[in-house]
Amino acid sequence: MTSNPFASTAPQIAASILSADFAQLESEIDEVDRGGADFLHLDIMDGHFVPNISFGPAITAATRRSTAAFLDAHLMITDPVRYAPAFLKAGASALTFHVEVAKDPVAAAQELRQLRCKHVGITLNPATPVESIYPALDHVDHVLVMSVVPGFSGQKFMPEVLPKCEAIKKRLRPSQRLEIDGGIHADTIRLARDAGVDWFVVASAIFDQKDRAAAIATLRSRMRP
Ligand code: DX5
Ligand code: ZN
């Protein structure tokens, strides 16, 4: 896995540990590392912004102890700025906040940077208009388009978010990256790639498979024309 996915413009696969076996986290991480995942995606849920609770700084720190890879923390929490220091201290490489919880998205991005977050991302739910993130685009490193209503892995991909991907991609600088999250598997990854997506978050289509390396290889082969 890589410690800096921004260093490459090639498409990248981010394995979401939400579907990993937490009783064997280290070997799960090792398996997707050896299987060819590019970095890890950490789904942080507070039971408030989303109707599910996943994990917090302790598991983030345990993940960091298991790997030097880039840890992409997706904060599905109501108060991302308040908890950012704990996730940064735990070893998160990037923090992505939801535009739905930010009164002022530009200020939120700036506050995260002031907390020494090196890579700041903004994300939006399927029902959130794409225009809501435009004012913050100059202040973030990556944009995450949710292709399911966040809260759970294993949901169905929502193709109606693809025009959003295309619209955002047109506005990004070459150094910025477009990421998608939810329902990405062998039959949907190409649609997202064609809409300009650089980074693909995948939980169930990797961790729910017996052969994770084969699953990652299939995803990679299916994103190509
Ligand atoms: C959704 C999470 C996703 C989720 C993706 O609430 O943000 O990252 O783990 O799961 P799959 O890949 O199974 O749709
Ligand atoms: Zn996520």
181 is catalytic: yes
The label of the residue with tokens 């809501």 reads 132
Instruction: For residue 56, give the nearest of 86, 82, 16, 17 by alpha carbon.
Output: 86
Instruction: For residue 41, give the nearest of 67, 9, 7 by alpha carbon.
Output: 67
Confidence of residue 178 (pLDDT cuts 50, 70, 90): very high
Residue-range definition of the domain harbouring residue 192: 5-223
Residues 224, 191 contacting (CB under 8 angstroms)? no
Q: How many domains does the chain have?
A: 1
Confidence of residue 140 (pLDDT cuts 50, 70, 90): very high
Task: Looking at the CA of 147, name the nearest ligand.
Answer: 1
pLDDT surpassing 90 at residue 182: yes
pLDDT surpassing 90 at residue 225: no
What is the tens place of the pLDDT at every residue in 16-30? 999 999 999 999 999
Going by alpha carbons, the residue nearest to atom 9 of ligand 1 is 153
pLDDT surpassing 90 at residue 33: yes
Cβ of residue 125 lying under 6 Å from some atom of ligand 1: no
Going by alpha carbons, the residue nearest to atom 6 of ligand 1 is 150
What is the tens place of the pLDDT at every residue in 192-205? 999 999 999 999 99
Residue 155 belongs to a domain with what CATH number?
3.20.20.70
Ligand 1 atom closest to residue 157's alpha carbon, by position in its atom list: 14
Please state the pTM of the whole predicted model: 0.98
Cβ of residue 161 lying under 6 Å from some atom of ligand 1: no
* pLDDT at 224 (0 to 100): 83
Confidence of residue 105 (pLDDT cuts 50, 70, 90): very high
* pLDDT at 132 (0 to 100): 98
Rounded CA-CA distance 148/181 in Å is 7
How far lies 120's CA from each of 22, 45, 63, 81, in Å? Answer: 26, 18, 20, 11
Ligand 1 atom closest to residue 76's alpha carbon, by position in its atom list: 7
Rounded CA-CA distance 150/51 in Å is 9
Task: Looking at the CA of 15, name the nearest ligand.
Answer: 1
33 is catalytic: no
Query: Active-site residue among 43, 72, 141, 198?
Result: 43
Instruction: Give all strands (DSSP E) within 50-155, no chain letters.
Output: 71-76, 94-98, 119-124, 142-146
Ligand 1 atom closest to residue 208's alpha carbon, by position in its atom list: 13
Task: Looking at the CA of 144, name the nearest ligand.
Answer: 2
Query: Active-site residue among 33, 38, 72, 181?
Result: 181
What is the tens place of the pLDDT at every residue in 144-162? 999 999 999 999 999 999 9
DSSP 53: B
